[in-house]
Amino acid sequence: MRLYVFYGTVLLFLATTAFGQKKAPTAGDPIHYTPRVFKNFDIGAIQPAGWLLDQLQTVARNATGHLDETHEKIKKDNGWLGGNGDGWEETPYWLDGAVPTAYLLKDPQLTRKVGRYINWTLEHQRPSGYFGPLTKYEKETGKPITLETADKGEDWWPKMVMLKVLQQYYSATKDKRVIPFMLRYFHYQEAALKKVPLSKWTEWAVSRGSENMLVAQWLYGITKESFLLRLSATIRGQSLPWSALLGGRDWVMQAAAFQNNKAWMTRHGVNVGMALKEPALNYERTSDKKYLEILNRGWSDIMLLHGLPNGIFSADEDLHGNLPTQGTELCAIVETMFSMEEALSITGELQFADALERMTFNAFPPQTTADFNRKQYFQIANQVDVSRGVYDFSLPFNRQMNNVFGARSGYSCCLANMHQGWPKFVQSLWHQTHDKGVAALVYAPSRLTTTIGTVPVTIVEKTDYPFNDEILFEVTPGKNMTFPFLLRVPGWCKKPVITINGEPLEPEIQQGLVTLKRTWKKGDVVKLRLPMDVRITNWGRNSRTVERGPLVYALKLKETATEATEPAEGPYETLATSDAWNYGLLKKIVDDPGVLKVAEHPLKPGFKWTQDFAPVAITASGKRIPSWKAEKGQVADQPVSDREGIYKGEVAPEIRSFTLIPYGFTRLRIVAFPVVP
C-alpha cells in the first residue's frame, strides 16, 4: 500500500473507461435509508471464551498490545500525539485493532495506552471541525485549518481509519465527546470536499471512500442528521466506482488477465477487500436492491476468477488469478473479513457469514507467527518453502522479502493493520434482530450479555467449533421471558441437529436460519450439531482440496525454521522441509471422500495456531509426482490435469499415506492437490 501523488481524476477515468464500465450511480441516487437486517452489539456485550479468548490474550500480550513500543513509525514522536512522526495510516491501523482488543479483554494497561491517542485526537479538533495531526501549514503559521485554508490540510485517507477507531471507542465507552466531534468533522468535510475533493492528495482516499461512508452512515443511524447521507453520496461520487466495477464483468476479467500499471488501483487487493462493502453501504443508504445483486455478483466473480482454497482471493498486490501458487497480502485478508462482517450485518445474507468463517479459520491464522509478532506480507496457498525470492508475485520488491516471516518484512502496513482481524471477528459472532431477538450468526466460544426490554439475558456459547461440530448455548434470562433466538445453518451443512433441554427439535430452516421462539427460563440449554461431512472441491488448474465443515485441510509437513536479518527490514524467519510434499491425491478418494479417516482430539490448553495444537487430522493416500519440484525461493508450479482431473505425467507406483491438518495450523503445506490414478 504505497503512497503516490494522485493526478487529478486520471484514475477515475481509467476505472470507468479502460474496462468498459459505466459510471456508478452516485449522488443522483435517491436517498432512502434502510436499517441493517442485523444490528451489531456494543463492544463489551460479547466476550470471547475458550480458544478464541486464548487468541485475544495472545495478541494483547504481543504485537497488538505493544506495537507502539516496538514499531519505530508509531513509537517515534507520533503525529497522532502532536509530534512530528507518523501522521498517516499506521497509527490508526494499529488502534483499529488495539482499541477493541483493550475493551474486549478489559485490559487496563492497553486501555490507558490507546486512550492517549484518542484523547489527543478528541481534544485537538480545530474550531472548523478539521482533526488529525498538526499540518505543515499549522506548524509554520500557528493558525488552525479552516474551510478557507482546507487546501492546507492533509490527506483524507488516514482520517477515515481514525473515524473507525473512534466509532469503536464510542461503542465500548459511550464517551459523550465522540458524537459532537464527528458531527463537527462531517460538517467540515461536506463543505471542504467542494474545494479539496478526495483526489486532492493521494489516490488512497479515492480508492477507499467506502471506509468514510461507513462511519457517516453509522452516525446517521444514531443522529438521523440527513446531511450525513448526502455527504456519504458525495464521497461515493468522488471515489472509485466500485459498484459499477463489481456489478460488471469486464473489470474482474481484465484483472485476471493483466497485472500492469493501467488502472492498477482498481486491482489492488486491499482496495478490493475494502470495496466489497461499498454495494452494501449503497443499499443501506438508498434501499435500492440493485446493490444487493451487485454485491452478490461481484463477490462470486472475484472468487470464481481469483479465489483460493483458503477462502480468500489472490492479491499480491494485484488480483492475480486462481492458481494456488499466487500470493495474498495480509491486509487484504483482514479488510475482506471486515467487509464480510459489514455485508452480513447490512444485508442479512448468510453467504457472507460462511465466507467470513472460511477466511478467518483458514487464511488468516497462518500468515502470522503464533505469538502474533511477525507476519508474511504475502502467503501462498501451496507453500512448500518460505524464503527470500520473487515467487509468482506481481509485486516482488528488490529485496525479495515478501514471503518471509518478519515484523518489518514487505511493507509495514500489514504489521499495523493485522490487529483488527480477531477483535472484529469477536464482534461479528452475535447480532440483534428487529423483533427484539438475538442471532448467533458466526460460531466460536463466547458469552453474550445483553438486555431485552428491561430484562438482562446471558447466553454462553460453549464449543470447540470450528474444530468439532457441537455447540451448546446456555440461556439465562433475568426472568422467564419470550424472545426469538436465531441460529445460522452454514451452507455446507446438509441437516443440523437441534435439541432444547435434551428434547429433539425438527428445525424449520428459512433462508439458512432456524428461529427458536419460546419462553426462555434459567437453565435452558440449546444443543446445535452441524454434521461435518468430508468433501472434495475443485480449484485452479483442476486441483482438488479436502474440506470438512468450514475448514480446509492441507498436507502436514515438518517445518525447519532459520533466523536471519536483512539490513533494511530487520530480523526474519525462513522455513524449509525435509518431508516429501509432491503427492497427487488418489482418484478413488476424489470419487468417494467418505473413505477418508478423520481423527479428532480435545483442544489443548493455551491454544495456538501451530501444528502441535491441531485437534483434527485426516489420513489420506496418494502417489508422488517426481517432476513436481520447487527450488528455494520459487513456487511449486501446479501440475496440469486433463479434463477428467487426472494428472497424466509420470507417477510413482507406490501408494503412500499422509496426514492432512486444518490449513490454519500450517505454514508449509500443499492444499490444492493434483489427482492421480
| The pLDDT of residue 636 | 86
Q: The cell 517445518 sits on which residue?
A: 559
| The pLDDT of residue 632 | 74
Q: Which three cell numbers stand for residue 630?
A: 520447487
Domain boundaries along the sequence of the chain: 12-30+241-316+328-362, 430-463+469-529, 536-676
Total number of residues shown for the chain = 677
* DSSP 8-state assignment for residue 409: S
CA separation for the pair 417, 1 (Å, rounded): 11
* Angle in degrees, CA 428, 434, 440, rounded to 5: 35
| The pLDDT of residue 23 | 41
CATH class of this structure's domain 430-463+469-529? mainly beta
> Residue 270 is which amino acid?
V
> Residue 450 is which amino acid?
T
All residue ranges of the chain with pLDDT < 50 are 1-27
| The pLDDT of residue 2 | 37
CA separation for the pair 469, 509 (Å, rounded): 18
378, 409 Cβ separation under 8 angstroms: no
Q: Which three cell numbers stand for residue 324?
A: 494456488
Q: Which of 303, 297, 337, 340 is nearest to 321 (CA)?
A: 303
- Look at phi and psi of residue 229 and say left if phi exceeds 0, alpha if psi is from -120 to 50, else beta: alpha
* The pTM of the whole model exceeds 0.85: yes
| The pLDDT of residue 246 | 97
The 10 Å Cβ neighbour count of residue 514 is: 19
